[in-house]
Amino acid sequence: MYYRSRARTFVKKVRKLLAEGKIEEAKEALRLAISALDKAADTGVIHKNNAAWRKPLLMRLFNSYVAKAAA
């Protein structure tokens, strides 16, 4: 359960920081979220395919906010 809640917490943190427009902090949180998702998948808490589709989803979200900020 530790790994699952840790991954969820980091994913929520990324979304919150992006909504607030804090791109640099979101970038670090995104790195931690991806790491937490990988760790959760490695330990078998979540399925590896679950982590595999969540990571690119977060990256697309991050990239769309970065593009909006640049424009």
In 3D space, the residue among 62, 60, 56, 68 whose CA is nearest the CA of residue 17 turns out to be 62
Domain residues for the domain of 10 are: 2-70
Q: Could you tell me the pTM of the whole model?
A: 0.90
CATH number for 31: 1.20.58.110
Structural domain count of the chain: 1
pLDDT for 11-66, tens place per residue?
999 999 999 999 999 999 999 999 999 999 999 999 999 999 999 999 999 999 99
What pLDDT score was predicted for residue 43? 95
What pLDDT score was predicted for residue 70? 86
What pLDDT score was predicted for residue 69? 87
Structure tokens of 17?
A: 């920081």
Q: Decide if 50 contacts 14 (C-beta within 8 A).
A: no
